[in-house]
Chain A
Amino acid sequence: MFRHVQREPGVSVEQRFPAGPAVEVDALLAEITAEPEGGYLSVGDERVVQFLVKFARKLLAPATARRYPELASLGFFLRKGEIAKALSTLETSGDQLRFPRGVVFHVPPANVDTIFVYSWALSALAGNPNVVRISPRSQGAAQAVIEALNESLAEAHPAIAQTQRMITYGRDEAVTSALSAACDLRVIWGGDRSVAEVRKSALAPHARDLTFPDRASFAAVSVAGWEAATPEQRRDAAIGFYNDSYWFDQAACSSPRTLFWVGDDERAKPAREEFRTLLAEVVASKQFVVEPAMAVQKRVSAYGVAAEGHATEIRFEGNAVATLELVEAADVPREWLGVGTFPQATISDLAEFGRIVQRKDQTLSVFGFDRDEVMTFTRRLAGRGIDRVVPFGSALSFAAVWDGYDLLSEFSRITTVTV
């Protein structure tokens, strides 16, 4: 491939996967949309499946998985059996034929290392040519992902390198605009501000956005369920809650922030104390370190909630665990307060939580409820908010249905033949 004479500065991008020289956006788009050897990619294309399985194996290699546990989760997500299960939901019959959606442009967040891989992998599985913007600031796990992808390319079908691209460019509107104008679907992760920013670039009339804006998530413990749980179950609940909350500094959209105790107020008190003690023990045993700046941030946030009259009691267990007693459940703060900062309230039943749910609310992590209770609650919400209810410890587990979207279905299209 020729390095072009620079036509207009700023419209070329750095290629991270496949690793290669800088390329102009127009040339890149022409390459990924050309028919590859062996034909256009199809939904569940064997060439893609093989590549993803190889890639997953590299992520699960002990050295990588030890260093970046989040990549092991990704590796599990992309195992052959999991892929087959996901694809089985796409089967069509009769008059319907499912095809890839088209060129998909992914704009992932700068500060979550791996979420872009999930959305790219599902889109690739659906057979789309993909362009993923990798932040120039990406490092650590994201870098490991790119290395694993490039290593997996050696034995892969050439169609992969031709149609799947991960690129880096600075804050260059010309590139975002060119890719936005050319894509059939644009996937924007990263919060309200990012969505608004990217949306300044117009899409083609037929194209649309799949957006993942700011969300808020919560946890709920059944007081009766806690009382009925064994000491081991209670300890596991604290460990699960720790993983859900502390892994991404409690800033992941699905990390619980406010913790609701559901049941009798008096009976909740000893349960809350015990949970607090268990959580502090787990945090200590994991040797979780809160940097001084973060410790200050937590106080700024917690004092702020109190200053506004929404919290009556702030308690710190070292720098790692802070709890705030909310004046009313409806006062729940939805913004990030710093890692290990948990507003709490006791409410009489899940329906009381249901009344404060907003569209913005995403995950409810629960402990001690039976499935029927959760189902009844969720049905009564009627889809007004809360996209997933998960057990403690699963808040961060990514799934092919996310924020209410069935992603594989979003990444594909259906053609009907009724002749």
Chain B
Amino acid sequence: MTTTAESVFGLSQAEREAALLPVLTELTEHHRTGGEPYDRILSSLGIPRGASFDSVEQLPWLPVRMFKHHVLKSVPDDEVFKVLTSSGTTGAEVSRIYLDKEAAADQPRYLGKTLRTVLGDQRLPMLMVDTIGIIKNRRSFSARGAGVLGMANFGRKHVYALDENDRPDVEAIKGFLANHGNEPFLIFGFTFMVWQYLYEVAREHELDLSNGILIHSGGWKKLIDRAVDNAEFRRAFAADTGLTRIHNYYGMVEQLGTVFVEGPSGNSLYCPDFADVVIRDPETWREQPVGVPGVIEVVSTVPRSYPGHVLLTEDLGVVHGIDDGDWPGKRFSVLGRLPRAEARGCSDTFSGSPA
């Protein structure tokens, strides 16, 4: 695998932590100055202003769901340039992420630097495994639409693989391949859609995707019923369509601009140099050893306009190895979501209906 000159997958774990710790410590202080609610949380946990930390693991983390219930931002109201929202899995709760002008500009820049490592510097013809409707209808602009729109920047001559009724548009896919199939091209989509609408169609119509570079995200939950995991996904694409350059990635709206990308050999996600993961034991909250699953904490120096630099996700994951894979640093997998905490209370006769 060749990486470009400005690869952001270069730092060993020791170099990474040495580089990140002072920046993240400064960011912690910056966010405390910029937002009283965040400062109150840390104070209530007994962490004084100006505290220093011995390691990335020791930095205080915020549960990602905090952004669904509270206004957490580090810029004054009049500097808020954009508020990003995302629906959680429940649909009812929405995260609100506040960006100033600078943060709004940073976010695509970091994303670009990260993805160019796998996509190359050239903007290639791009097959979008989605419907153009998802970005056309601005009124119901969704996280999915934002993802599609953000990714579209990395390619050109976009063709959408689904028609406006969300049905595979086989003629459009065939047309794209006729025009661009003999040179490198990009494919983007959400994991379950890529499987359902591209893999199954490509197999049925014996399409050749061997020049493609697929980048996909969104989790495996919807594919578990079909007994498809990452390994099977890669195997089937390679065997039936010739597509071997596949990069899953992991990221969230609460840490936009930061994505963890699957390396060329597959089955491990890697951290860009400005980010890291800490897998925590849900009992002691200490970092788990390599190979032991726990709750994923994502760390990034990108968030400056809201305290999203150290976030405890609601995903389970495991670190497979450190400095021993395609790229340096920790390599890890996402194993699934934490089940939702549900109490046996007096509430909710009609539990299950939307709040």
Contact = CB atoms under 8 A, between A and B. Distances in A.
A194 B347 CA distance: 8
A188 interface: yes
A251 interface: yes
Interface in A193-243: 193-194, 197-198, 212, 214-215
Interface stretch (B112-120, B145-153, B337-345): B337-345
Interface string B151-172: 0000000000000000000000
B353 interface: yes
B41 A171 contact: no
Given A251-B343, A293-B314, A312 B351 contact: no
B355 interface: yes
Contact of B345 (A291, A304, A325, A336): A336
B339 A291 contact: yes
Contact of B346 (A189, A197, A291, A306): A189
Nearest to A108: B349
B348 interface: yes
Interface size range of chain A in the complex: 35 or more
Interface in A235-271: 248-253
Given A296-B295, A306-B41, A110 B351 contact: yes
B349 A309 contact: no
A338 B341 contact: yes
B45 interface: yes
B93 to A, nearest CB: 11
Contacts of B41: 303, 306-307
Contacts of B44: 303, 306, 311-314, 324-325
Interface stretch (B10-18, B60-68, B101-109, B203-211): B60-68
Interface in B247-305: 282-283, 295
A248 B345 CA distance: 6
Interface in B307-355: 312, 314, 338-353, 355
B40 A111 contact: no
Interface string A168-202: 00010000000000000000111101100110000
A110 B65 contact: no
16 contacts: A111-B342, A111-B343, A113-B344, A190-B348, A249-B343, A250-B343, A251-B344, A251-B347, A296-B65, A296-B341, A303-B62, A308-B70, A309-B40, A311-B44, A314-B45, A319-B283
Pairs A-B, 7 closest by C-beta atoms:
A251-B345, A190-B349, A194-B349, A292-B282, A251-B343, A191-B347, A307-B37
